[in-house]
Amino acid sequence: MTIEMQVMQLLAPAKINLSLRILGCRDDGFHEIETVIAPISICDELKIDKDKLGIEFRCDDPSVPQGGDNLAVRA
């Protein structure tokens, strides 16, 4: 008997950039970077649902871009 997980929930810990150096633009439009980071105690909650198609992004902060305007969704 095989049991497949349909929904996975993960915590993505936040971090603070102590140093950030932008090295250049890649062919995909994103940038190569060199950074030194420090973890902090807050996190985002990610939910991955195998039964759903596409990407849905929800955030309770209205200042955060939604959909394709959000870099996390585009990446």
pTM equals 0.53
Q: Has residue 6 been placed in a domain?
A: no
Domain count, the chain: 1
Band of the pLDDT at 2, cuts 50, 70, 90? Answer: low
Domain coverage including residue 64: 13-74
Residue 3 lies in a domain: no
26, two tokens: 């890649």
Residue 26 within a domain: yes
pLDDT in tens, 10-66: 898 999 999 999 999 999 888 999 999 999 999 988 888 877 777 777 788 889 888
